[in-house]
Structure 1
Amino acid sequence: MSDETNLDSVVDAPPARRGGGPFALAANALAAIGTVWIFLMMLVIVADVAGRNLFDAPITGVAEVCARSVVAIVFLQIASAVLAGRMTRADFLIRPVSRRFPGLTRVMEALFALAGVAVYVAILLAAWPDTAEAWRSGEYFGVQGVFTIPTLPFRAIIVIGAGFAALAYLIAAAASLLRDRTLPA
């Protein structure tokens, strides 16, 4: 029983959860901004629904801003989730392997994290040209004369969030490989 608990602690422990540090502080600050953004978005949606139903006066642009906001919020919160070990993973595969081969588990976690690095670097590289173009051209979305908002902040958040996520996964990969090789007592 105690061996199972010790092995479970190897599998369950987030590989990158090692105190704070400036990067973790920045990632958590981005996540906090995303959380506040969710709250504000909920208030605006409620105000829009109330305005529509009670006063026949909707708030212009709520649907457009909220649609873009969901993506931005996800990218603000990804790095913090990675560092805290809260990203989804295949426990059905990792747990049986960890019971027999804890070292292999660390390698599997590192490979998963390196795949995460590759995915978020690819997202960053794919999003960068559109972000640069939005900067140069003053691109906006919405209907001119009715409601418009610049796309640059939303595009920049995707680039920044993808960069932070890639670095967080890189930290997680290193932490997985460098994790103490002995089981806790």
Structure 2
Amino acid sequence: MSGDNGEPKTDALVPPFAQAPVGALLGGVAAALSSIGTAWIGGLMLLVVADVVGRNFLNAPITGVSEIAARSVVAIVFLQVSAAILQRRLTRADFILRRLEGRAPRTQALVEALFSLTGAVVFALVLWASWPKLADAWAGAEFFGVQGVFTIPTWPFRGVTVLGAALAACAALYVAAQELRKARAAA
């Protein structure tokens, strides 16, 4: 099916990344990880509330909440960042892009592509720096917490960082490719 201008018709409810097979796969994985991150936020909120109630009303704090919360925040960010990239919701100052939107769509697409390529490089560097730490945590059975009181292995948290950075780099490259196609079409 195509629209009046010869371009394929798109459903307004379907995100642009879901129209191509690679985009659909990438978007599906990103959405699944983002859902896990959202559920993790809910669980973390319940844990913090239980700790506050236990600490203030029952004189029985939950051991390890601060350690879990500190590691969880980073993990949640890396679980959700690829979905934010694909949905074009990554935090940024877009006042220049809004000015270019109607006046220079090709320039806007090129700036978006440059932004996405920069993001891909940043996430690739995070992946490159995080991989050895994941391998060391796995091989060395690394834990955090207070030994004898509360400990938890670090490798799952480092693994989420590696997975999230890899998927975020792929998502940024995918968005950059889309923007470059858009720039070519606008020329």
Of 105, 115, 119, 1:102 maps to 105
Aligned residue pairs, count: 168
The answer as to whether partners of 1:16 and 1:176 remain within 8 angstroms in 2 is no
Shift of 1:27: 0.6
Shift of 1:88: 2.1
Which structure 2 residues correspond to residues 29-108 of structure 1 after superposition, within 5 A?
A: 29-108=32-111
Report what 2:170 is aligned to: 167
Partner of 2:152, secondary structure, is strand
Residues of 2 paired with 1:25 and 1:96: CA distance? 32
Of 157, 181, 186, 1:178 maps to 181
Q: Percent identity, aligned pairs only? A: 52
Residues of 1 paired with 2:106 and 2:18: CA distance? 19
Residues of 2 paired with 1:16 and 1:58: CA distance? 47
Instruction: Out of 84-93 and 135-144, give the one that drifted further.
Output: 84-93
Shift of 1:16: 5.3
Residues of 2 paired with 1:126 and 1:16: CA distance? 31
The answer as to whether partners of 1:16 and 1:172 remain within 8 angstroms in 2 is no
Q: Read off the aligned partner of 1:173 and give its amino acid letter.
A: A
TM-score by length of 1: 0.86
Shift of 1:174: 0.5
> Which contiguous aligned blocks of 4+ residues in structure 1 show a shift greater than 4 angstroms?
none
Report what 2:28 is aligned to: 25
Q: Is 1:136 the equivalent of 2:131?
A: no
Instruction: Out of 120-129 and 100-109, give the one that drifted further.
Output: 100-109
Q: Read off the aligned partner of 1:100 and give its amino acid letter.
A: R
Partner of 1:171, secondary structure, is helix
Q: Read off the aligned partner of 1:113 and give its amino acid letter.
A: S
Report what 1:120 is aligned to: 123
Residues of 2 paired with 1:16 and 1:113: CA distance? 16
**More relative contact order in 1 or in 2 (CA 8 Å, sep 6+)?**
1
- Cα deviation 1:99-143 (Å, max 9, x = unaligned): 322111111100000000000000000111111000100000001
Q: Read off the aligned partner of 2:79 and give its amino acid letter.
A: L
- State the Cα RMSD in Å: 1.6
Report what 1:146 is aligned to: 149
